[in-house]
Every structure is written in C-alpha cells, then in structure tokens.
Amino acid sequence: MIKIRVLGSAAGGGFPQWNCNCDNCTGVRTGGLDAISRTQSSIAVSTNGEDWLLINASPDIRKQILDFPGLQPNRARRDTGIRAVLLIDSQIDHTTGLLMLRENDKPLDIYCSRMVYQDLTSGFPVLRMLDHYCGVNWHEVTVGGESFGVEGIEGAEFSAFALSSKAPPYSPHRNDPHPGDNIGLRIKDKVGGGSVFYAPGLASIEPHLTPAMNASDLLLVDGTCWTDDEMERREVGTRRSLAMGHLPQSGPGGMIEALKPFERQHKVLIHINNTNPMLVENSPERAELTRAGIEVSRDGMELEV
Ligand code: MLT
Ligand code: MN
Ligand code: ZN
C-alpha cells in the first residue's frame, strides 16, 4: 500500500496569498466564502507509515510538519520521519522549504533531474547553501520513464517522465527548455500493484504520458487555474495559465475534458491557485467537477493506492 498525505494543496502563493485581495482571498480571510485556506504545493509518500518521502519542499513546510505529526517522530533527541526529498521542478513553491530542513542531522538525500540540480546549484543555489549546513546527497532522476527506487521507501517503484514546461525565471536555461525541467512522477506499490501518477504542473497530457496514466489508479494532477486568463479576470496580473505550464480545467481541451478517457481512475486536482473559482465549495465550478468525477484536494487529505 502506498500512503499519500497532501501537505499543501495550493499553488505558489498559497490560499489566501499574503498580498492578494481578489474575491477568493478576501472571502477566505473574512469567512465570507465557503472556502478553506491551503498551504503551498507538497505531498508526502510512505509505504510503511513511518518513513516518508517528501515530494517538493514548500515554503510552508514548517506548518505542514506541525500539522502532520507522522513527519516528526520522537525516537531520538533530534528526529524526522522525512527520509528523502524528491523535487519535480526547481520552482520557488517546490524548493524553498529545503532551507528550513538545514538542521537535519545528516546530509539530505535529494532526488531530482539533472536540470533541476543545475538550477538549484546556479540560478537559485539552495543546494550549495545547504552544503554549509546539513549537506546534500544528490540522486539523479532520469526522465525517460525508467524505474528507480528511493532509499528508505522500500516497496515502492518510481518512474519519472519529462513534461513540456518552462524552467523558472532564475534558471540559466529559462528560454531554452530541456527534458527534466519539470517531471510527472509515477509511484507504484511493488506488492499490491496500485499506483499514482502525480503531476502538479501539467500543460498537456502528452502522448508519452498516456500509458503511465492509464496504468495508474490515482491521478493527482494540475489544478492551478480554471481558465487560461483567470489572473486577468481577477485583476491580479496578466500571466496566462498555459504559458506558466498549467492546463486550465474548463473549456475545450481543458483538464476536465482531457481526463475524461481515464474512466476507472480516481482523479484529484492539486496545486490550486488562489484565483481558482473551484476553491469555493458551493460554486458552480466545483459542482461541474463533481459531476465529472473529479475531486479537489485539501491540506491533510490522505489517499492510498
Ligand atoms: C508555477 O507553478 O508555475 C510556479 O510555481 C509559479 C510561481 O512562481 O509561483
Ligand atoms: Mn507552482
Ligand atoms: Zn487571490
């Protein structure tokens, strides 16, 4: 059995975002909307319920650990349930939490692609910085779907797939995309056979992803924006969802439509931007998702495959 704990279900900025007065952020702050707050994008995965792989390290990690005692056992004076960290990209919402793990009593085992490693040792040199604290053991993740294991998470088989996306603004190759800038991840239980496909940044369901998604029981995928021009609609910016590497849910070719062929899969959206109308529990957008058999993740949600 693979246990998945959603530590943070929001996209970068969280919900509400610190400086945002859009209808959603105002509504959740004042209690005027039927919506709950969410921390930034991260999940934890375990096969034995004791040793956890942190997938993405969000700036909200301190609160996320406090909210999930499983990550902070008391077997020694200094202790953690986090055995390793896997990064799906080098974006701020997925990597700045690494700085908060600097007190680790041994080098952090970090699994990521060569591209992400390069970004995190150049444009945002967080791994170099950690060398002055706990240190880092880098395990290279190859991105062609080859299976690999993670030390401490015995019983799970991992495979990573390159996604067409963009590296972050501080990446040395921001305007020159490479395979591995962003990955989708499949995690399979070697014993029971169940599996999850996880991709919080998914601009499209590319043909090379379909077999892995078809073979998975749970699809935990990009829920960033409802429409491509959502930021503009909310008058909070001009960045477009697709340009940021996130397929919007609604409309022709959107995520709801793209997920339709996956009939037997449990479908859950994650990495939700604070502008997304589906965050409102009693919204028509949420009702549309429910009719399509798609759930919206929340912090603390537990899933099993
Ligand atoms: C993304 O998912 O596109 C980024 O995390 C955006 C951001 O910088 O917050
Ligand atoms: Mn993000
Ligand atoms: Zn907002």
**223-232 pLDDT tens trace:** 999 999 999 9
Provide the 8-state DSSP code for 259: H
Q: Is the pLDDT of residue 142 over 90?
A: yes
**Does the CB atom of residue 12 touch ligand 1 within 6 A?**
yes
Give the phi and the psi of residue 36 in degrees, each rounded to 5.
Answer: -115, 150
Q: How far is the CA of 191 from the centre of ligand 2 (A)?
A: 32
Q: Is the pLDDT of residue 305 over 90?
A: yes
**Does the CB atom of residue 93 touch ligand 1 within 6 A?**
yes
End-to-end CA distance of the chain: 6
* Mutate which of 17, 88, 91 for ligand 1 pocket (most atoms within 8 A of beta carbon): 91
Give the ligand 1 atom nearest the CA of 93. 5
**Does the CB atom of residue 163 touch ligand 1 within 6 A?**
no
pLDDT of 166: 87
Q: Is the pLDDT of residue 100 over 90?
A: yes
User: Structural domain boundaries of the chain?
Assistant: 3-304
**Does the CB atom of residue 92 touch ligand 1 within 6 A?**
yes
**Does the CB atom of residue 91 touch ligand 1 within 6 A?**
yes
Q: How far is the CA of 275 from the centre of ligand 2 (A)?
A: 13
**Does the CB atom of residue 82 touch ligand 1 within 6 A?**
no
Q: How far is the CA of 14 from the centre of ligand 3 (A)?
A: 9
Nearest to 47 by CA among 154, 121, 169: 154
**Does the CB atom of residue 11 touch ligand 1 within 6 A?**
yes
Residue nearest to atom 6 of ligand 1 (CA): 12
Distance CA 120, CA 172 (A): 10
SS3 7: strand
Nearest to 114 by CA among 164, 83, 160: 160
List the structure tokens of 11.
Answer: 């996209």
Please provide the size of the chain in residues: 305
pTM here is 0.98
Q: Is the pLDDT of residue 97 over 90?
A: yes
Q: How far is the CA of 266 from the centre of ligand 2 (A)?
A: 23
Nearest to 269 by CA among 3, 2, 1, 6: 6
Q: Convert the pLDDT of each residue in 9-28 to its tens digit.
A: 999 999 999 999 999 999 99
Domain topology for 3-304: Metallo-beta-lactamase; Chain A (3.60.15)
Distance CA 114, CA 241 (A): 26
pLDDT of 104: 98
* Mutate which of 40, 93, 231 for ligand 1 pocket (most atoms within 8 A of beta carbon): 93
Give one word for 115, left, alpha or beta, with left for phi > 0 and alpha for psi -120 to 50.
Answer: alpha
Give the ligand 1 atom nearest the CA of 244. 3
Average model confidence (pLDDT) for the chain? 98
Q: Convert the pLDDT of each residue in 163-191 to its tens digit.
A: 998 899 999 999 999 999 999 999 999 99
pLDDT of 51: 98
